[in-house]
Structure 1
Amino acid sequence: MSSGLAPTLIPNPVAIWHGAIENISERASPCRYLTPTQWSAMRESALDFCDRLGADAHRLGWTAQQLFGVHPEHGTLRVDYCGALMIAGNRVQGVDADRIMFERTAARRDKPGQVWGAPIWEFKAKGD
């Protein structure tokens, strides 16, 4: 047997994102000002994004905060802290280095001075 280093498991960020969103019930909004109906649509769009475009987003350097971030106290009410997928719940059409494209709009991550909140699953864990 070789005395080389044992292989290490490298976590798959997209699987972590997907699992974390999936673990938040679609019927129980994680944020006080986000209705369960709005959350259900947002959750479904986020899971779809992970399945279809998550690997591309990760390869392009998108982070959990830039995609799923929410304000640490006010959740989705403060959209200026929200990640691209935590604003409207629309299905993503495409992803590139600085934009997430929706059917009629885009979310950008290259705004000077942008502050991102923690991923919504961390907000949920703290209890709203």
Structure 2
Amino acid sequence: MTTAPALSPADQVAACGVLVKALPSDRIPMVGFFWRAPGAPVDDPPVWPEVRRAMLVFLRDQGVEAVERGWDAIGLFGVHRLAGAVRADACGAIILLYPRTVVAISANEFVTERAGVRQTHRDVPNRAESVPLWNFRSY
């Protein structure tokens, strides 16, 4: 039996981009996360279209670098298989990105920034319970 050749980092990023683009553009595709515009009142509508766009911009601008440093679909786009983003210990770096920008990527950390405040995200500690966002199914 032969194994399929591994995808290049660029091909992995392209595949993730296709899957993110296939997510609904008009509603958050999982439970547990209510993205709002920075400083917006609680009754403002979610900003899922902007979150989705931020994911695609990240893939375009920094996705290959992240994959080359060892980040995979769970590390980037993981959510808890049953609870979605309610379980932050199962969330990937990009799920928690908006409205910040990535300023540094290493093999085990993402550093993000918003308004001069930096935050570090490390790899998903609960990987066994995570699935990529596009595989999340509400039961």
Fold agreement, TM-score > 0.5: yes
Which one of 98, 115, 125 corresponds to residue 108 of structure 2? 98
Matching of residue 58 in structure 1 with residue 72 in structure 2: no
Whether the 8 Å contact between 2:31 and 2:138 is mirrored in structure 1 is no
Q: Relative to 1, partners in 2 of residues 1:9 and 1:81: Cα closer, same or farther, differing over 3 Å?
A: closer
* Paired residue secondary structure (2:16): helix
- Counterpart of 2:82? 73
What amino acid is aligned across from residue 25 of structure 2 in structure 1? E
Structure number with bigger Rg: 1
- Counterpart of 1:34? 33
* Paired residue secondary structure (2:94): helix
- Counterpart of 1:3? none
Deviation at residue 47 of structure 1 after TM alignment: 0.8
- Whole-Å separation in 1 of the counterparts to 2:59 and 2:7: 18
Deviation at residue 39 of structure 1 after TM alignment: 2.9
Matching of residue 107 in structure 1 with residue 115 in structure 2: no
Matching of residue 122 in structure 1 with residue 135 in structure 2: yes
Deviation at residue 82 of structure 1 after TM alignment: 0.3
- Whole-Å separation in 2 of the counterparts to 1:41 and 1:77: 20
After TM superposition, where is structure 1 displaced by more than 4 Å over at least 4 residues in a row? 8-11
Q: Flag the structure with higher strand content.
A: 2
Gaps of 5+ in 1: 1-7
- Whole-Å separation in 1 of the counterparts to 2:56 and 2:64: 12
- Whole-Å separation in 1 of the counterparts to 2:23 and 2:134: 7
The two structures, once aligned, show a CA RMSD in angstroms of: 2.2
What amino acid is aligned across from residue 104 of structure 2 in structure 1? G
TM-score between the two structures when normalised by the length of structure 1: 0.79
Gaps of 5+ in 2: 36-45
Figure out how many residues of one structure are paired with residues of the other and give that number: 116
Q: Relative to 1, partners in 2 of residues 1:43 and 1:13: Cα closer, same or farther, differing over 3 Å?
A: same
Q: Flag the structure with higher helix content.
A: 1
Structure 1 residues 86-128: Cα deviation after superposition (integer angstroms, max 9, x where no partner): 124222223121111111212112x7xx1121100010xx345
Deviation at residue 28 of structure 1 after TM alignment: 1.4
